[in-house]
Amino acid sequence: MWNTSVACLFYAKPLKPYEHMKKYLIFILISTIVVTAVPVRAASVGSPKTEGQGKIAVTAEWSYIFNRDLDFKKATRPAGAESYIPESFQIVKGYNTAAKVSYGLFDAMDVYIKLGVADYDLKGDVYVGDIKHVVENLSGANAFLYGGGFKLAQELKDGWIVGFDAQYLTSANDLDFRAVNIISGATSVAKYIDCRIQEWHVAPYLAKKIANFTPYFGAKYSALRLTQAEPNDPKRWDDLVFNADCNVGVFTGLDWNFAKNFTLNIEGRFVDETAMSIGVEYKF
């Protein structure tokens, strides 16, 4: 419930010095393990609950995109390629490994950051008129992922929770490019050293506490922008821009509080993308 008492809202029980040290040591240990060992690229909504004022939680999170369609916007074309049109481009595989650190500003509001690594594979076709001429495949390498957001969650009567998550993620990946001209059979390869992927979402949801479980579902507006630049071959396209083809999706998930201070989260996301995530949270 929203706390209308100013005294209660800002009051926090002081911790003894050794309790502070114990919590910080556990926090550092878990954060190190998460960043180095846990394999995330869709932006997950995650647990529908907030941590509580002054509380800290760290989550090890793994996410995987099975498919996300892209819409070509613009590019700098090389000479002779003015009539070529990219079509059917999509992310065919994307994943990140991330550590999420959440802090409760208030009982009903968290802020959080995400740090980790991300990787993507893409494919698409190039047409001249109505005829497909080229099939392209782009394979990424692990790159630094960072971002953050905030979550609002208000508990209502009988265990119901209404919430809202807003989030931003980005990474800059190298891409190995391979194109096959299906008319002539010629193959060309190149490397793009700057492929920036940015993702935003806003996601309202509804959840219900049932014993140690909290299922939830909601809808989201998501935007994705991919900029592909700096090829090592001047004959290649440069400054390509793709946006997400679909911006509205749905999601559903489940929290399971399987041990003291530990919560397992499983989530699926559909329509705008086909993706899933798994996370394990430790709350201090």
pLDDT tens column, 187-245? 999 999 889 999 999 999 999 999 999 999 999 999 999 999 989 888 888 999 999 99
In a domain, 6, yes or no: no
Q: Domain count of the chain?
A: 1
3-state SS class at 29? helix
- DSSP class of 11: -
H helices present in the chain, as ranges = 6-10, 17-37
In a domain, 191, yes or no: yes
pTM: 0.81
pLDDT of residue 6: 36
Give the β-pairing of 84-106 and 109-128.
antiparallel
Expressed as residue numbers, the domain containing 122 is: 13-283
CATH of the domain at 232: 2.40.128
In a domain, 119, yes or no: yes
Cβ within 8 Å of residue 155, ≥6 positions away: 1, 108, 161, 209
Please, are residues 41 and 94 in contact by the beta-carbon 8 Å criterion? yes
Regions of the chain where pLDDT drops below 50: 1-15, 17-18, 20-21, 23-25, 27-41
What token pair was written down for 255? 């929290």
In a domain, 1, yes or no: no
In a domain, 169, yes or no: yes
In a domain, 7, yes or no: no
Closest-CA residue to 95 (of 273, 280, 283, 282): 273
What token pair was written down for 273? 């993308």
In angstroms, the CA 63 to CA 98 distance is 9
